[in-house]
Amino acid sequence: MKDLNLLVWITQLGLTVAAPLAGFTLVGLWLRSQFGLGKWVVIVGCAVGFISAVTGLRSTLRMLGDMEARKDQPKPPASFNEHE
């Protein structure tokens, strides 16, 4: 189960970084071809995609660090409805 959870987080990390970068670049290319704008719109799309990819990477890594810190803390005692 632990390996599956790690695989999910690695996939999430990859999508968090790759999707914004590719998406904004493709939007910039589409805007250039659709409206005849210059190369600057593709550069702006790449820059915005890179910034959002870095932001997504930071938030995902922060969340992974928080999960790791919580894993070492002891579980609280079970409440009445959680007894098995």
In whole angstroms, give the CA distance from residue 82 to residue 35.
Answer: 60
Per-residue pLDDT at 34 = 96
Encoded tokens for 43: 């550069």
Q: Is the pLDDT of residue 11 over 80?
A: yes
List the end-to-end C-alpha distance of the chain, in Å, as a whole number.
21
The pLDDT value recorded for residue 15 is: 92
CA distances in angstroms from 36 to 26, 28, 77, listed in the order given? 15, 11, 64
- Of 63 and 83, the structure prediction assigns the larger pLDDT to 63
Q: Which residue has the higher pLDDT, 55 or 67?
A: 55
